[in-house]
Amino acid sequence: MINKIIKKGKNVYIKKPKFNELNYIKTLWNDKETMGDVGGVINFDEERWISWYERMVYPGDNKNFYTLIYNFQDMPVGEVSFHGYDDELKSADLNVKIQSNFRRRGYGVEAINLILDYYFNEFGGEVIFDNVMNIKGIEALKKVGFSIVEEKENEVLFRMTKEEFNAMKIDKS
C-alpha cells in the first residue's frame, strides 16, 4: 500500500509516505511557522523515527493511519492522519497540518474530507474527534461539518460520526 494513492480530490491527493519521505515530515515538523499554533516543533532521534514509521505507516498497527497531502504538482503540502483507534468504540483522533506556505488554498479542508471518507467508509471507523487550539483549525473543522463537543479557554473538542459525514456527502452531491 506504500506509494499508492489512498484518495484523490480536486486539488490534492493523500498517500502513505515512503521511508525516504521522512525528510519532508522532519522539515514540516521542524518549521516554526507551521508548528507554532499546534504545540511547537517536534524533533525525533533516528531510532524514534524508525519506530514511528513502523507504527504509523508501514507495516502499521491498525490503530494509526498516516498520509502525506500532495498537490497535483506532486509536491507534499502537509499531512493528515488518524491515530489512537479504539476497536470497541470505533473511534480515533484526527490530525491535519498544512505547511505554512501552502495554507489558505483549500488543501486542508479537502484533505480532511479525503481522510474522513477513507476512515468512515473503508477503514470502518464510526466516530472521530479532534482537539484544536488555533483559529484556522477551528474554522476548517466547522467548514467540514464537525460538531463542537466542548469549548475550553484555549481549545475546542470536535466530533463527527460516520452517519453525519455520509449525510453531508449526499447533500453535497
Cell of 44: 525525533
Residue 62 to residue 167: CA distance in whole angstroms: 26
**Looking at the predicted structure, is the pLDDT value of residue 66 above 90?**
yes
Q: Residue 31: helix, strand or coil by DSSP? A: coil
Q: Residue 50: helix, strand or coil by DSSP? A: helix
Cell of 97: 497540518
Closest CA to 67 of 31, 28, 16: 16
Query: How confident is the model at residue 32, as a pLDDT?
Result: 82
Q: What is the pLDDT of residues 119-137, one digit of tens each?
A: 999 999 999 999 998 888 8
The pairing of beta strand 127-132 with beta strand 12-15: unpaired
Query: How confident is the model at residue 9, as a pLDDT?
Result: 96
Q: What is the pLDDT of residues 86-102, one digit of tens each?
A: 999 999 999 999 998 99
Angle at CA of residue 143, ends 142 and 148, nearest 5°: 15
Average pLDDT over residues 65-81: 95
Q: What is the pLDDT of residues 17-37, one digit of tens each?
A: 999 888 898 888 888 887 777
Higher pLDDT, 158 or 39: 158
Cell of 24: 519532508
**Looking at the predicted structure, is the pLDDT value of residue 172 above 70?**
no
Mean pLDDT, the chain, rounded, equals 90
The pairing of beta strand 76-86 with beta strand 65-71: antiparallel
Query: How confident is the model at residue 61, as a pLDDT?
Result: 94
Core vs surface per residue 106-121: b (16+ CB within 10 A) or e: ebbbbbbbbbbbbbbe
**Looking at the predicted structure, is the pLDDT value of residue 144 above 90?**
yes
Query: How confident is the model at residue 164, as a pLDDT?
Result: 96
